[in-house]
Structure 1
């Protein structure tokens, strides 16, 4: 989130997204000098499922991340939405993009078993 005055960054790149921590997913309500209110909070905080949202109060969320605790005892991101990136994918590029994402996922699994 960058409004020109203050900035809050979340490490959501393919190389850095596993670096989520308590500081990144901190619940807060920040009143901006220009009048907007930035809110970040867990909208679901159950023992095996968590959903975190962040964004300005009077607009759509900038970020939504859903986590589930799996049978192996680890938390996994099962859904993620961010309004910070616009993705327009022409249909003729779909197959190549799916193949590329699968390859990146396999490489990620090897690095982070």
Structure 2
């Protein structure tokens, strides 16, 4: 028995998908196994707006490597005793702060230091 190898051309071919951190390659079960969590935990992250997995044609969630790294950040916070909803909010706020800092740096504004009161 022979197996045909299908090659995709264009900007989203196999090589670019392999290197793309945002390509939704992982099913919920695979994502849960890779992150050391459960499918329910991953669904909770979606419910709280931390990750939004892509849906396949059949309606199944598909996660990217970037989303798996975010899920692992949340898992670490939860493992330290933080509630899931709070962990999601913390990560969202951290990402917003990082984005604001990058914008300020691009605009040439100096970073303000927190006062040590």
Q: Same fold (TM over 0.5)?
A: no
- Rg (Cα) greater in structure: 2
Whichever structure has more helix as a proportion of its residues is 2
Whichever structure has more strand as a proportion of its residues is 1
Structure of higher RCO (CA pairs closer than 8 Å, 6+ residues apart) = 2
